[in-house]
Amino acid sequence: MSIHKDIPPPELKKDRGSLHPINHMKDSIMNLLTSFGFEIVEGPEIETEEFNFDMLNIKKSHPARQMHDTFYIEKKSNLLRTHTSPVQIRGMLQKKPPLAFISGGKVYRKDDDATHLPMFHQVEGIYVDEVVSFAQLKDLIYKIIYSLFGSDIELRFRPSYFPFTEPSAEVDILSKEGKWLEILGCGLVNPIVLENCNIDSTKYSGLAFGLGIERIAMLKHGVTDIRDFYKSNLDFLNQFK
Amino acid sequence: MKIAYSHLAQSILEKPTIEQISDSLFQLGHEHEIDGSIFDIEFTPNRGDCLSLDGLLRDLAVFYTVEFNRDIYTEKLDDFLIDFENLSKSICPKISFLKLEIEEIPEVYKNTLNNYFKELSLNRNNFFTDVSNYLSYETGQPTHCYDAGKITGKLLFHEMENDKEFETLLDTKINLTGKNSVFSLNNEVINLAGVVGGKSTSCSKDTKVVIVECAFFQPEAIIGKSVKYDIQSEASHKFERGVDPECHDQVLRRFINIVNEHSNIKNMSIFSYNSLENSTHQIPINVKKINQVIGIDVSKEKYTNYLTKLGFVFEGEFVKVPSFRSDVKTQNDLAEEIARVIGYDNIPRVEINIPKSEKLNHKAIEKKLKYFLLDNGFYEVINPPFVSLNSDKSIKVDNPLDSNRKFLRTNITNSLLDNLLFNERRQKDSIKLFEISDIYSSNGGIHKKRKLSLIASGRVGLDYINFSKKVNLKYISSLFKQIFPEEVFDFKILSRDSLDTKIKNEIIALEVDIDQFSNDILAYKEISSPPKNFNQYRPISDLPSSFKDISFSLNDYSKMKDLQDLLLNYKSNIVKDVFVFDYFSNEKTEQIKIGFRFVFQSKKITLTAAEIDVVYNEIINKTLRIEGITIPGMQETP
């Protein structure tokens, strides 16, 4: 009697690798947004002050432009983009409305402590059309957050300030522990920004939003130290298969 | 900014509770924490006008009935003949100096002044400085007090470009460099405008004659100075965000009133300079536009009512913006005011339908490459671009975080090599990593290349087929050959000579431009799929791990399952991982050899051999209870 034919050999557990959790989160959000109708645009990480600040109505005197907040390179001729918003500017200069863009990727700020890294990731979106309202922006944000955190999550909108949106809002979600956590920033595109991109602000209006990927990945995966994402420790990475 | 609840409540007729005010603040966009009965509020940078008790009350007035009741001195004031010249009118278009002489310095503070120090638990300084600080809290307008006896000569306001040492009234010495707006006296800097006053002319506990400076500085001239010179300055915080240019007379008259409550004033006189043109801004009334922006239907009556309560004045076809609201310029700004009053959370959603764009297969090659690598056990990593080493093509960071991060990397391989060594130090013996990133270099301009880099070393895999195979050039190149039969890749064997490691495994690396890959990859059928759920992360241990292998011999094939069930699911807080690293089935002898590797690691302590043995022996004892299983080479204990 040959028994072994009935007994399978041990399961061959081929060691598959995993996507980096930040890239996976970024791709998931980008996929969600493309399903809403947004188109992906790409832009460089090395930017000019014009695209990173001026075109976005961030005045020369704005604190973010100081050397202690922004990395400048090659004798201040360029900078490392501090947000993905300049990609939207490049997109708006190339295409006429109606337009709906998203861009995602690495951004840089001169920070380095337990909760801030000099490099992190953002996804931003912009939609410009005739008569885009704050009420529609709210609808879009609800859809995004419900998709990410489930439709029983509680969220709130707070008035905030960004030079490139007006009105501006920050959105918080209520954690399981009953704490409000800031999750994204959004607003209606400041008409000054539309005009900077040769879009007639009397005819068109737009909405814009931006999310920090690390923040969302930390919440979704329960990672408590942002620095863990960038240690490249296999014990960490192999948990995200 | 810290504002006492009691100070707010004093001026609000409805006497709301601390929680009610807290809710109102959130609705208005003023994030805050509550410490006892003090609000610690973080105002957004556009709302410099709220950086005071009265400023915040002006905003709260949209929900409550606010009565300020600020008594001011209303009599005519004599002219103060100060020897002053303003050499930089564009930076300081408006300035006043008030000279006051008091009979005696008060010992005890009364009324609002006393209440301010008590409620906010603040330390007193000297009388005039204390009044100045209180007024900055009440009105938002910083004032600076000079000891009049120390102002001997011509006072100049100017923008200075030469370097100069300056001793502040905080007893620190700073070296002024670059452009600075200053007040100077006899060629000495006595005040870094809008930031901090100088020691040489500051008031003391004995000062009876004071010159109070009340100015408007262009925010651009003040921004960044307090950070540059590392000075904690509430004044600069306010000037940077813009103060009300129209408040000087009111503030100085309030100053007189408070001083007068404490001491007899012997003399008082005022000097005012103003080159500021009428700064009032007006916006056409357009309710329809506001409703379009917000997506609601607010009546003109409500629109008028809300804005009036916020201090806006209606004149004909226009809304006049109050002088303290330099942030309001457009219809969208007005829309934000209306939306705040309604409450962002009370604005109903209106369904959005974005026209669908043509879907492009974005980065298709890159995605396929990633899955090809995942299928072969490679892990994706992301590294920051900052490095200490440079090549002649490196881009230099002007203001790096430190000298180890002065340049942008010109390759990914070096980052991956660091990642490899990091994991080898953590007892990993099968390491395969990759990264895809834009890489920038400088070569007569800035150049961008999107690159894929990979590195591999150690065991091909931890499964029993690949456990004993080592990664080498042949292995990696044959992987690529399957997918890209026609393409030649420049795989490299990295030398370990200069590396701080005793491990000998060959390191294979590849770095290649993404656009070098042909469309062949698009035909690749991936095995891996993106994770369906967002796994809950289990914190990892950074303590050393070690392993022990156990090999079993089985004659009864049916026991295979029992053995695997027992060992692969073995629960212990020091067993980090267990897997089958060896398997051999001899058909002739009908015997199976199966080897398990146990990896031990604690989250709390560095394990000793004895601690590991306790668990190891327990494992062995449990397995030996299964009939027909032996451990070759192991003496059976009676």
Per the model's pLDDT, the better-predicted residue between B161 and B360 turns out to be: B161
Is the distance from CB of B512 to CB of B451 less than 8 angstroms?
A: yes
Is the distance from CB of A92 to CB of A128 less than 8 angstroms?
A: yes
Instruction: Tell whether B461 is within 8 A of chain A (Cβ).
Output: yes
Express each pLDDT in B242-270 by its tens digit: 999 999 999 999 999 999 999 999 999 99
Tell me what pLDDT residue B279 has. Answer: 67
Express each pLDDT in B372-396 by its tens digit: 999 999 999 999 999 998 788 999 9
Longest dimension (CA), chain A: 87
- d(CA B211, CA B213) in angstroms, rounded, equals 6
- Considering only the beta carbons, identify the residue of B296, B377, B530 that sits closest to A135: B296
With contacts defined as CB-CB under 8 Å, which chain B residues touch A142?
349
Express each pLDDT in B78-102 by its tens digit: 999 999 999 999 999 999 999 999 9
Express each pLDDT in B31-75 by its tens digit: 999 999 999 999 999 999 999 999 999 999 999 999 998 999 999
pLDDT at A143 over 80: yes
B216-232 burial string, b = 16+ CB within 10 Å, else e? bbbbebbbbbbebbebe
For A9, counting Cβ atoms within 10 Å of its Cβ (0-12 exposed, 13-18 middle, 19+ buried), the class is: middle
With contacts defined as CB-CB under 8 Å, which chain A residues touch B295?
133-136
Tell me what pLDDT residue B360 has. Answer: 65
Name the β-bridge partners of B32. B41
pLDDT at B24 over 60: yes
CB atoms within 10 A of CB B151: 20
Tell me which of A99-108, B395-404, B627-636 is least confident: B627-636
Longest dimension (CA), chain B: 118
Which of the residues B373, B379, B551 would you substitute to probe the A interface, choosing the one with the greatest number of A C-beta atoms within 10 Å? B379
- At B638, the pLDDT band (50, 70, 90 cuts) reads very low
Tell me the mean pLDDT in the region B624-633: 82
Tell me what pLDDT residue B531 has. Answer: 85
**Binary contact (A17, B378; C-beta < 8 A):** yes
Express each pLDDT in B519-575 by its tens digit: 888 999 999 888 888 889 999 998 999 999 999 888 877 788 888 888 988 888 899
- Considering only the beta carbons, identify the residue of B27, B377, B537 that sits closest to A223: B537
**Binary contact (B448, A46; C-beta < 8 A):** yes
DSSP B397: B
B83-121 burial string, b = 16+ CB within 10 Å, else e? ebebebeebbbbbbbbbbebeeebeebeebbebbeebee
With contacts defined as CB-CB under 8 Å, which chain A residues touch B294?
133-135, 167
Express each pLDDT in A153-199 by its tens digit: 999 999 999 999 999 999 999 988 899 999 999 999 999 999 999 99
**Binary contact (A142, B400; C-beta < 8 A):** no
H/E/C letters for each residue in B336-352?
HHHHHHHCHHHCCCCCC
With contacts defined as CB-CB under 8 Å, which chain B residues touch A78?
446
* Closest-CA residue to A88 (of A105, A106, A101): A101
H/E/C letters for each residue in A88-133?
HHHHHHHCCCCEEEEEEEEEECCCCCCCCCCEEEEEEEEEEEECCC
DSSP B27-50: HHT-EEEEETTEEEEE--TT-GGG
Tokens of B42: 């973080």
- At B510, the pLDDT band (50, 70, 90 cuts) reads very high
Which amino acid, residue B269?
S
Helices (H), B376-472: 413-424
Which amino acid, residue A226?
I
pLDDT at A88 over 60: yes
- d(CA A43, CA B417) in angstroms, rounded, equals 28
Which of the residues A2, A4, A227 would you substitute to probe the B interface, choosing the one with the greatest number of B C-beta atoms within 10 Å? A4
**Binary contact (B580, A10; C-beta < 8 A):** yes
- d(CA B166, CA B147) in angstroms, rounded, equals 17
| Angstroms from A13 CA to nearest CA on chain B | 6
- At B629, the pLDDT band (50, 70, 90 cuts) reads confident
- Interface pTM (ipTM) of the complex? 0.95
Query: Scanning the structure block, which residue is given the tokens 């209006």?
Result: A205
Q: What is the mean pLDDT of chain B?
A: 93
Tell me what pLDDT residue B95 has. Answer: 97
Tell me what pLDDT residue A5 has. Answer: 57
Instruction: Tell whether B220 is within 8 A of chain A (Cβ).
Output: yes
With contacts defined as CB-CB under 8 Å, which chain B residues touch A180?
none
Is the distance from CB of B273 to CB of B85 less than 8 angstroms?
A: no
Name the β-bridge partners of B145. B212
- Considering only the beta carbons, identify the residue of A71, A158, A190 that sits closest to B344: A158
- At B359, the pLDDT band (50, 70, 90 cuts) reads low
**Binary contact (A241, B535; C-beta < 8 A):** yes
**Binary contact (A71, B448; C-beta < 8 A):** no
Express each pLDDT in B583-611 by its tens digit: 988 888 888 899 999 999 999 999 999 99
**Dihedral of CA B154/B157/B162/B163: which sign?**
positive
Name the β-bridge partners of B275. none
Stretch 603-622 of chain B: residues touching chain A, C-beta under 8 Å = none
Tell me the mean pLDDT in the region B103-127: 95
DSSP B488: -
Is the distance from CB of A213 to CB of A25 less than 8 angstroms?
A: yes
Q: Coil, strand, or helix at residue A155?
A: strand
Interstrand relation of B78-79 and B265-274 (parallel, antiparallel or unpaired)? parallel
Q: What is the pTM of this model?
A: 0.90
Q: Which residues contact B523 (CB under 8 A, 6 or more apart)?
A: none
Nearest chain A residue to B382 by CA: give it. Answer: A230
Is the distance from CB of B520 to CB of B502 less than 8 angstroms?
A: no
% chain B with pLDDT above 70:
98
Tell me the mean pLDDT in the region B156-171: 94
